[in-house]
Structures are given as structure tokens and as C-alpha cells.
């Protein structure tokens, strides 16, 4: 275990999840998203000091075993990559159509897409604020 992280920071607790329908709706109604070969990430600022993760894994992805494997992989990627994921945002993540599950690529993708999404939003707000 990393010496800089306490066991409580490594958990994926309720405070780290988007669970209420209101929050899912707020993220889906927003215009901010980023995508690559593996994932589609939508995001919305949450006015909190934590990043939260919501999952949207449809039956088109596969049977229950496959969907649950995607969920476990995404939660683990979020939990382990937390220090690289911007705080103050809610992210709703879904696999890209036809994506194959690869833990390493999914983890890298989640981090990169969340950072890209936040930077797009900040650039747009800087342009409109000028």
C-alpha cells in the first residue's frame, strides 16, 4: 500500500458515487462529454470537494456477468486513479459500443477523459468570460 494514502482514501464509498436520479439527470442534461475507443464520459460540476462516479452499463454491453465485470473494472479504475481525476465533478461513464474490456486501457481512458472533459469546460468558460 502507498504510504501517502490511508486505507479510508482507497475505499469506494457512498460519497464517491452518483446515486440519485436527480444527479444522473443533471449530468446527462449537460453538454460536456469526452469519448475514446473504450469509454464515453459525461460530466457536470457538483459543487463538492470530491469527484463522484456514476455508471451506466446497458444490457447491450452483454449479459449480467459481463456488465458486472465492467462495473467492477470501472469502480476499481476510479478508486485507484482518484489522485488524477479532477475533484468537484460528477462523471457518468459507459462503455463505448463494441469496446472490449481491458483493465489497463479502461483505467487510463477514465483518467484521460475526465481530465479532457474538465479542461474543455474550463476553456469554454474562459472564452465566454472574456
Mean pLDDT of the chain: 88
The band of 30, judged by pLDDT with boundaries at 50, 70 and 90, is confident
Q: What is the pTM of this model?
A: 0.85
pLDDT of residue 3: 42
pLDDT of residue 47: 87
- Mean pLDDT value across residues 1-13: 55
Name the fold adopted by 7-129: Ribosomal Protein S5; domain 2 (3.30.230)
pLDDT tens-place string over residues 11-27? 777 888 999 999 999 99
> What whole-number distance in Å separates Cα of residue 23 and Cα of residue 44?
9
The band of 4, judged by pLDDT with boundaries at 50, 70 and 90, is very low
pLDDT of residue 12: 77
pLDDT of residue 90: 94
Sign of the dihedral through C-alpha 19, 77, 81, 119: negative
Residues contacting 9, CB < 8 A, separation 6+:
82
pLDDT of residue 70: 96
> What whole-number distance in Å separates Cα of residue 42 and Cα of residue 32?
6
pLDDT tens-place string over residues 45-92? 988 899 999 999 999 999 999 999 999 999 999 999 989 999 999 999
Which is nearest to 23 in space by CA: 2, 53, 65, 3?
Answer: 53
User: Could you tell me whether strands 89-95 and 39-45 are parallel, antiparallel, or unpaired per DSSP bridges?
Assistant: antiparallel
Sign of the dihedral through C-alpha 102, 108, 111, 113: negative
- Name the more confident of 129 and 100: 100
The helix or strand, by DSSP H or E, that contains position 104, with its residue range, turns out to be helix 103-129
Amino acid at each position: 500500500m502507498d504510504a501517502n494514502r490511508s486505507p479510508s482514501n482507497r475505499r469506494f464509498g457512498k460519497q464517491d458515487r452518483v446515486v440519485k436520479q436527480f444527479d444522473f439527470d443533471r449530468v446527462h442534461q449537460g453538454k460536456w462529454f469526452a469519448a475514446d475507443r473504450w469509454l464515453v464520459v459525461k460530466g457536470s460540476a457538483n459543487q463538492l470537494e470530491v469527484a463522484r462516479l456514476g455508471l451506466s452499463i446497458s444490457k447491450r454491453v452483454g449479459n449480467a456477468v459481463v456488465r458486472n465485470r465492467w462495473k467492477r473494472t470501472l469502480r476499481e479504475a476510479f478508486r485507484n486513479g482518484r489522485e488524477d481525476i479532477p475533484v468537484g465533478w460528477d462523471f457518468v461513464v459507459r462503455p463505448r459500443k463494441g469496446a472490449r474490456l481491458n483493465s489497463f486501457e479502461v483505467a487510463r481512458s477514465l483518467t484521460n477523459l475526465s481530465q479532457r472533459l474538465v479542461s474543455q469546460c474550463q476553456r469554454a468558460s474562459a472564452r465566454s468570460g472574456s
